[in-house]
Structure formats: structure tokens, C-alpha cells
Homo-oligomer: A and B are copies of this chain.
Amino acid sequence: MALRIGWIGTGVMGLSMAGHLLDKGFALTVFNRTMAKAKPLIDRGAQAAASPREVGEHSDVVFTIVGYPSDVEAVTIGPEGALSGMKKGGVLCDMTTSSPTLAARIAEVAAEKGVIGMDAPVTGGDVGARKATLSIFVGGDAEGFATIKPCLEAMGQKIMHCGAAGLGQRAKLANQVAIAGVMFSVCESLLFAAQSGLDVRRWQDLVVTGGAGSVAMGTLGMRMIDGDFEPGFFINHFVKDLGLVLEECRRMHIVLPGVELADRFYRSMQGRGRGSRGTQDLINALAEFSGTQWTPVPEKAGR
């Protein structure tokens, strides 16, 4: 019998991801706080639900991808959450980047109702969501993983079952730890090169594939050089992620000074009303920190 899928959260990521499930022929029931944003899915045959609970009532598997851990809690195990409507044997899978501790608790609460709680946060951004090339880190029961795997394969390319509930979130947070350091690498090196009087476009081209290179130097670094500051990933969201990382560090009794530094910088930017800028705004903030400024080198001027 074909799985009936529920989908909660139709933001930039969720809308594309749920669309891939429709492409594969899954029956979909959707809910979003701002229901208008779910319209493209409704227009393609998805059923609209009036609440997360109603999504649960009509679904064997419910996916959620919302904003903050408090939102995750509300739409999953909250009084009106999806779990309250789900039947025994269902799978409740949160794809938001959220707290590993919350993910483990959702799995516990779900288990009491005979529902399998899973966490499956993703990387790859809006482009990865649109092209179905996401990487997906999955935590939770092997049985639940087997059930949702065909759905995940419709949304992503690399899918890793990391272990018990919460481990998907931990794998995603470890990814964010790596991003924090890489962003400092890209911004500080470009700033140093520019202040030194180098042609940063040519410099970047030489360095990006060497031992100092990174994926972000080729993508976000190039946007900084181009002067393209359109947000790809919001500072507000990264601050949320780094907060979750530091919470876990505290729990695990480990100190990551690089992450702490990044957290301080991004929070200071957020405090100055720049939270809805993209993370590549860090290069401007670092320049301002020294009373100078970053000057992009658009293609034509640079050659």
C-alpha cells in the first residue's frame, strides 16, 4: 500500500522538497503556518490540512521542516502537533536543523504512542533542495529509516543513517562547525589579500584548489569578490545553529574556541540589525572591525 505522506513547513526548503515527493507520485497532505505559501503544492494535488494534528490524522509518515526548535516542538509533540493525530506504526521525521536533545525527546514521546521519531536535517541549501541534491543526515530506528528512505531519495543524493535519534542533528551541527571555520578562512584571507594590494580575483583562482582551498572559497568567496551579497544562508539561521552547537558542547564538556569566535561575530552582526543578511556579510563585518572596508572586484574591473 502506498505511503500517505504529511508535510509541515513550506518555506524555501520545504516547498522544493515536498514538490519532489509529488513528482514521485506520493499522496501529500500539507500544512504551513502561512497557508498561502503551500499553494504551489495544493495546485499540484496536495491536500490542505487545517493543523499539524490534521496532517497527522491523514498520514503514515509526517515530515516537518520549520524554523526554530520551539516550532519543531509545537508541530510535532505539542498539544496540537502532528503526533496527536498519528496512528500506531507511523513515522514522524523532523528535517529542521534543530536540537539533538529535542530530537531524542521527540523519539521518546513518539515511541510511547507506537510512532517512530526520526531526525533528518539536510545540507545543500535552496539550490540543493530545488535540484534534489541535498545531503541528508538521519537519526533514529533502522526500521523507520527503511520506511522513509524512498522519500529521502526523492529529495537528496547522499543519505547517511548516522545512528539513534538525535545523531542526524549532531551530524548536521558538526557540519555547521566546519562551516564556521571555513567562513573565517575565506573572509580573513580575502581581506588580508585585498589590504595587501593583491588582485583578489586572480589570487582566489590560484588558491582555491590548493591546500588552503575550500568549497566556500569557490562559492561564497567568489560572491564576495563579485560583490553579490544576496543572502543564501541567513545570519539569523546560522546564529541559531551555532547556539545549538554550543549547547551541545556544554553538554559534552568540550570547548571549541573557533566556533565561539564565530558565534561572537555573527551575534554582534545580528545585534546590529544584520541578521537577515547572508553569512558572506562576515567579510564586511571583519573589515569594519578594523575600521576599513571590503571592496568587491567585479569581473570587468578586475581584469
Q: Which residues of A contact B (CB under 8 A)?
A: 100, 123-125, 135, 137, 158, 160, 162-163, 167, 170-171, 173-186, 188-193, 195-199, 202-203, 206-207, 209-217, 219, 245, 248-249, 252-259, 261, 265, 286-287, 289-292
Assess the A253–B291 pair: CB atoms within 8 A: yes
If A174-B198, A181-B184, A192-B249 are given as contacts, then 12 extra A-B residue pairs at C-beta distance below 8 Å, sorted by A number, are: A123-B212, A124-B211, A137-B206, A163-B197, A174-B203, A181-B183, A182-B212, A195-B254, A210-B215, A212-B215, A255-B290, A257-B289
* Interface pair A162/B198, CB less than 8 Å apart: yes
Once the chains bind, are B212 and A193 in contact (CB under 8 Å)? no
A173 to B254, CA, bound (A): 31
- Cα distance, A125 to B210, chains bound together (Å): 10
| Cβ B171 vs Cβ A203 within 8 A | yes
- Min distance, Cβ A256 to any Cβ of chain B, angstroms: 5
A129 to B199, CA, bound (A): 25
CB distance from A264 to the nearest CB of B (A): 8
Q: How far is the CA of A176 from the CA of B185 in the complex (A)?
A: 9
